[in-house]
Structure 1
Amino acid sequence: MTTRHERVQLPLMQPLRRPSIIDQAELELRNGIYYGDLRPGDAVPEVQVSRQMGISRSSLREACQRLVRDGLLTQIPGRGLFVTHMDAETMSDFIDYRLGIEMQAATIVADRVTKLRSTDQDEEVEALLAPLRVCLERSRTAMAAEEVIDAGNADLDLHQQLAELSRNRFLVTAMNTIVILTRMGSFSDPLGFGVRADITSTLEDLVEALSRGDASRARALLRGSLQELARRLRSGDETVEDTEVVRDPDLLESTAPEWPTLGEGDTTS
């Protein structure tokens, strides 16, 4: 038994900390991009944004550099920071990357389902896939109500949940950025923000393939869906689309955010 005077030897652990100002600023910017408050091509003026957030310019600068690293912001020498616009080449490379992440996540989840089915653990399978079915129902409800942005949110949430179900922290971290990059691609669409008219049935097919433990079918569905997305979101592609798309009339055009104007002599730093 350990006495009062003996020191307990613990493994090396990292000190706990609360989210920093920089972490919070990064999250605010990520959310602004995801929800469309910041659109591709919008400027992110350092002085005005730091003033609006109530943080120093150096803290904002560090938060922005994290987004530059992840491809969400683009730094143009002499001009400043801008929300990244997904051109055709960038979109093609991004879809290849997203395919690798999601297909691996789908394989892991399908294999887990197969193992559970092999021991008649059907209830555990339903519990495992329940978060995906919630997103599926959200998509169905949103499309019925013609709420395009909500349907898009449900779609991205389902794909994020798929990564979460893999229990692989590297896949989860990658998907955290992927969903925002996908949203940026949607807002970069010259024809306006839209989702596939058959998005609900597409997601349903994916969930059912996973429910059967059919990794091959799940990967094929992801490949087809993402390749269609890449074709549709190619920057400057005004050709007739092969897939019917439902668009939100309120999201057809991007207007730059109105940052507060600073008075003379402001020295925020």
Structure 2
Amino acid sequence: MGDLMARRHTRVAIAGARIGAPVLSMAFAALVAATASAQAQDQQQRDPAKTEVWTPLPKAVATPKDAAPSDAVVLFDGKDLSAWEAEQGGQAPWTVANGAFTVVPGSKGIRSKRRFCDIQLHVEWRTPVQTRGFEGQHRGNSGIFLQELYELQVLDSYDNPTYANGQAASIYKQAIPLANASRAPGQWQTYDVVWKAPRFAQGGGLVSPARITVLHNGVLVQDDTVLSGKTEYIGAPSYSPHGCAPIYLQDHDAKVSYRNIWVREL
């Protein structure tokens, strides 16, 4: 009886072995295939071409030394004020000499004939050397108004204390600059500006406020600053619907000069 039982267990074991071998072989093959697939996927993910985007190609913009980019709108090239007009229309009354133009105090401001919304703006400016007897807001005051409504302050802020949200590179009465990068009177200074115009709904409501980034003499002084509305001398700023509009330069009774003004529409 013992021999019979032993022979039966042996036969069962042999039969099980015969059945298990193909199963194990299939499982091993599946594991190998899964590993190979994972390796292939990993290799595919590591392929640098999978993250290369070839279109659309950015347009080519030439950037000649000491000149405006090739796609810029030049508003002053050192020769005349043909791109500008008087505040109330007609010929711009400011004087042109030696590659620059200068405010004629009492003549009122000038504005670009062309209207703009989102822009990159480059402008160079200089406050007068004669500062004796003048201080604060009465020393080399002018202003660059984006869309005629939002003032980036121009002022001799070199060793000239005034209220911080009214000094050079401030968004007048709204945003204090991050630094005072002013040069001495009589030296040329530079503003490089990125301006994002406000957006309004068809019904007149504000969709998104104006934003501005400014570099003063290469120093970041306004970093994507959000404006609360148009510039006000008295009272809080607020918005009212408008479209694209000229750049306006202010006459504030000081012989401030400007040169090399250009705009890239964004």
> When the two structures are superposed, what TM-score results if normalisation uses the length of structure 1?
0.23
> When the two structures are superposed, what TM-score results if normalisation uses the length of structure 2?
0.24
Which one has the bigger strand percentage? 2
Name the larger-Rg structure.
Answer: 2
